Amino acid sequence: MNKLTVLALVTGVSFGTMAQAEVIGTYLRNGEEPISARVEDGLLYCTRISDGFEMCNGMVKREDGSWNGDKMKNPDMPRFMSFNGTINFAEGEMQLQGCLAGKSMCKSLSWPAE
């Protein structure tokens, strides 16, 4: 159960969009930072739980099952920067690739499930 769901249950507050959200899982960025991955209204969002920083910014699912978008953010980079990103979910991990300038200067990471 994610923190927003627990908060809703404890306080009795209803989050309208939570009913439409499908939680994929929680993954550990850098081995320690929990990131919540969820699908809301058909789009993928990846949010750092500690401060709500949004990394995926509404990625679209492709026919091959991957998620793609051009507004991916890295919390270690200036906030004005965005990347072309692709995300795949494999057994027990989230696989990310972010690229600058189309498909050049790319970096790939894998984050294990929590």
With beta carbons less than 8 A apart as the criterion, state whether 57 and 71 touch: yes
What's the pLDDT score for residue 9? 37
Q: Count Cβ neighbours within 10 Å for each residue of 37-55 and write b for 16 or more, e otherwise.
A: bbbeeeebbbbbeeeeeeb
Task: Tell me the whole-structure pTM to 2 decimals.
Answer: 0.79
What's the pLDDT score for residue 1? 53
Cβ-based neighbour number of residue 22 at 10 Å: 10
What's the pLDDT score for residue 105? 86
Parse the chain into domains and list their residue ranges.
Answer: 16-112
CA distance 68 to 97: 10
- Which residues, including other chains, have CB under 8 Å from residue 67's CB and lie 6 or more apart? 44, 56, 59, 60, 61, 86, 87, 88
Q: What is the mean pLDDT of each run of 10 residues along the chain (114 residues)?
A: 44 48 94 96 97 97 96 92 94 93 84 95
